[in-house]
Structure 1
Amino acid sequence: MPVSARRLIRNMINDLKEERDELALQIHLGKQEAKSEWQALGKKLDDLNRRYEPLKDAVEETGEDVWDAMKLVGGEIKDGFSRIRKSIS
Structure 2
Amino acid sequence: MLDLATLSENLKRTRDEIKLKIHLGSKDLQEEWSELEQSWASFESRAQLDKSARDVSDAVKILGSELKDAYTRILKAL
* TM-score between both structures, scaled by the size of structure 1: 0.74
In structure 2, the residue matched to 1:69 is: 59
Partners of 1:33 and 1:27 in 2: CA distance: 11
**Shift of residue 17, structure 1, vs aligned partner:** 1.0
Q: 2:77 matched to 1:82?
A: no
Q: Which runs of 5+ in 2 are unaligned?
A: none
| d(CA) in 2 for partners of 1:35, 1:27 | 7
Secondary structure, counterpart of 1:22 in structure 2: helix
Higher relative contact order, chain-length normalized (CA < 8 Å, sep 6+): 1
Give CA deviations for 1:15-63 in whole Å, capped at 9, x if unaligned: 101101101111111111111111111211111111121232326xxx2
- Counterparts in 2 of 1:1-89, with a 5 A limit? 8-58=3-53, 63=55, 66=57, 68-88=58-78
Number of paired residues? 77
CA–CA separation in structure 2 for the residues paired with 1:52 and 1:25: 24
Q: CA deviation at 1:82?
A: 1.5
Gaps of 5+ in 1: 1-6
Q: Aligned residues: percent identity?
A: 34
Q: What is the CA-CA distance between 1:81 and the residue it aligns to?
A: 0.7
